Amino acid sequence: MDWGKKNRLSRLIQKDGHCLFLPIDHGYFLGPTSKLERPGETIKPLLPYCDGIFVTRGVLRSCIEPNVTVPIILRVSGGTSIVGKDLANEGITTAMRDAVRLNVAAVGLSIFVGTDYEHQTLLNLSKVVDEAEEYGIPVMAVTAVGKELEKRDARYLALCCRIAAELGVSVVKTYWCENFEKVVDGCPVPVVMAGGPKVDTELEVLEFVYDGMQKGAIGVNLGRNVWQSEHPIAMIKALRAIIHENATPKEANEILKSVKKK
Ligand code: 5RP
């Protein structure tokens, strides 16, 4: 691996081999999502606790100061909306030249396996990997399910992650699911977990992140369950404890409660 790619990956994945990425890219198909109406304000107090931010070039240029030290993972796919015909019909939205100009640590894009747009989105991924390799930029694949959240089971997610790895990505972002070890074990590159729509309790999030870490995930790329929380700083600190300090869900919940009180 070239020095540049190694350097970028080492900024994203910490010395313990783990990472906490915070995605704020949701507006690219959801518009002004709740609590992300002003992404710059949402992210500001959370920046000290992130190992990477997943963001589009528009929000990066308009809402994030260029002196930010947190590494950037640039979303480079899109072209659909929540009110449009099919969320899976994504194209590549951002040229690799612009990713280089933005000095990003990685790029990320969605694939929609099993949909009418499987072929198109997998070829998007291959093209982005080819171009990113030219510049030593790691690629993170997002195994997207669109509106079909029920698709999130081990058999399907293992298929998606393995295909992304075969096409050459450095990291795969997927959903946590029951029997998550089947997803990680079949994937020869590191796996990070997304959260999906906000769940009912904070403890549920801590429990699934802990379970996923025990089963081999290297971290999270988890958004709504952090910044839509009533206590985003407490939540991100509790998650950091699981990811970087091997805290149990109970220990992380204690951290959450004590930060909430402050
Ligand atoms: C949206 C994304 C998000 O980055 C991903 O879904 C993670 O965010 P969340 O934890 O809110 O699901 O790729 O397409």
CA gap 194, 52 in Å, rounded:
14
Give the position, in ligand 1's atom list, of the atom nearest the Cα of 196: 12
185 occurs within a structural domain: yes
CA gap 170, 217 in Å, rounded:
14
* Cα(256) to centroid(ligand 1), Å: 22
Instruction: Give strand ranges (E) for the chain.
Output: 19-23, 52-55, 72-75, 77-78, 91-92, 106-111, 139-143, 171-175, 191-194, 219-221
Instruction: Give strand ranges (E) for 6-83.
Output: 19-23, 52-55, 72-75, 77-78
* Cα(220) to centroid(ligand 1), Å: 10
Is the full-model pTM beyond 0.75?
A: yes
118 occurs within a structural domain: yes
Q: Encoding tokens for residue 182? A: 């089947």
For residue 22, the domain's CATH number is: 3.20.20.70
253 occurs within a structural domain: no
223 occurs within a structural domain: no
The predicted-structure confidence for 27-69, as pLDDT tens digits, reads as follows 999 999 999 999 999 999 999 999 999 999 999 999 999 999 9
pLDDT tens, the chain, 262 aa long: 899 999 999 999 999 999 999 999 999 999 999 999 999 999 999 999 999 999 999 999 999 999 999 999 999 999 999 999 999 999 999 999 999 999 999 999 999 999 999 999 999 999 999 999 999 999 999 999 877 777 789 999 999 999 999 999 999 999 999 999 999 999 999 999 998 777 889 999 999 999 999 999 999 999 999 999 999 999 999 999 999 999 999 999 999 999 998 8
Pocket test for ligand 1, best of 25, 198, 205, 228 (most atoms within 8 A of CB): 25
131 occurs within a structural domain: yes
The domain in which residue 141 lies consists of: 3-197
30 occurs within a structural domain: yes
**Residue 175 in contact with residue 143, Cβ under 8 Å?**
yes
Burial 179-217 (b: 16+ CB within 10 A, else e): ebebbbebbebbbbbbbbebeeebeebbbbbbbbbebeb
pLDDT at 48: 97
Bridge partners of 124, per DSSP, are: none
Q: Would you say the C-alpha torsion 257, 258, 261, 262 has a positive or negative sign?
A: negative
Catalytic residue among 5, 35, 151, 173: 173
Give the position, in ligand 1's atom list, of the atom nearest the Cα of 198: 11
pLDDT at 100: 98
Pocket test for ligand 1, best of 56, 125, 140, 221 (most atoms within 8 A of CB): 221
242 occurs within a structural domain: no
pLDDT at 196: 75
Nearest CA to ligand 1 atom 12: 196
As for how many domains the chain has, the answer is 1
pLDDT at 57: 98
184 occurs within a structural domain: yes
pLDDT at 4: 96
The DSSP H or E segment spanning 206 is: helix 202-214
* Cα(260) to centroid(ligand 1), Å: 25
What does the CA dihedral 104, 119, 164, 11 come to, rounded to 10 degrees? 0
Closest among 158, 173, 260, 180 to 219, alpha carbons compared: 173
Percent of the chain residues topping a pLDDT of 90: 93
